[in-house]
A and B are shown apart, each in its own frame.
Chain A
Amino acid sequence: MVTSEHMIRFEQVAKRYPGGIQALGDISFELGRGEMVFLTGRSGAGKSTLLKLIALLERPSRGRVLFDGRNVGRLSRRQIPWLRRQIGIVFQEHALLSDRRVFDNVALPLVIAGVAYPEIRRRVRAALDKVGLLDKERSYPPMLSGGQQQRVGIARAIVAKPSLLLADEPTGNLDPELSAELMQFFVSLHELGTTVLIASHDLDLIRRLQRRVLVLKDGTLADDVPAKQVTVS
């Protein structure tokens, strides 16, 4: 596989939704391999749209989005699954199957990849253990709290060991203590080599972690603060 220096590269990307709503306009930035970056901005600033463009949940109206050197906007419908398997995504609205047990929900990416069952069991348990929900593997998602469901979603996103982790407000439903714990968990993933991009408006938490921060404002990139300049207030 051709490896690119940049995991993600946006080149003058714009996204206009049907109906004329301009979600993003002229965004350009790069995300290095193994980097950990926060994406922040008010709600409606375009954070979710930006993440969706990477995983091809939406296609850009203009410009190019490169994942590992490939223009994702040019991928055919058949190639989308390949892209999504490189990326672990934590969705804001969890996107869990309510009629499947927690274990089966987390196992989904491995089942799709055709992993053998003993291996699935081992890796699902490991992922659930990391998010502190090993005792809930036989529960159904509706039996869990919002925060617990969020963590099931995180376990599912990391279980297939993706090279890129995207998270849309992963701490949105969690109390500060749990939020800090989860962020620390993302940091440890990053330290093991995963590229991590997290959309969050939890500025205090972001400042404490001292990582690079992209600031979106009205669909444009208002600021790109390098890691060392993020100050603890």
Chain B
Amino acid sequence: MSDKLEKYQDKTPEQVQERAYLAPRVDIYENESELLLLADVPGVSKQSLTVHLDKEQLLIEGHVEEPKVGALLGGEFQAVDYRRSFILPPGIDGGRITADLKQGVLSLRLPKAEGLKPRQIQVKAG
């Protein structure tokens, strides 16, 4: 059976390559003006990281290129890509989101829309 399958795959012109995905671990913090999302994406360079916002859906994707170092003698990790998506709460100003990648940690700053920030309301004496 597997022999047949292999033969079949040899003949198919287009090989479908399947990539494994791992959800990166994240921390999410909030202050008055923004949400701050930190994600561990070791092995991802600036060029191979994409942060995509579609309406309220935020998608983080990172591609890991495994360098050809030599023969693997013992291993505890595999080069897998990262992928995770979040639904943003209403009131995030999508146009002002900034992303920064340092030492394999992505920092995403998600500013709150101006109108939703807490405001101090002055009480006037009559």
Q: Do A and B interact with each other, yes or no?
A: no
Q: Which residues of A contact B (CB under 8 A)?
A: none
Q: Which residues of B contact A (CB under 8 A)?
A: none
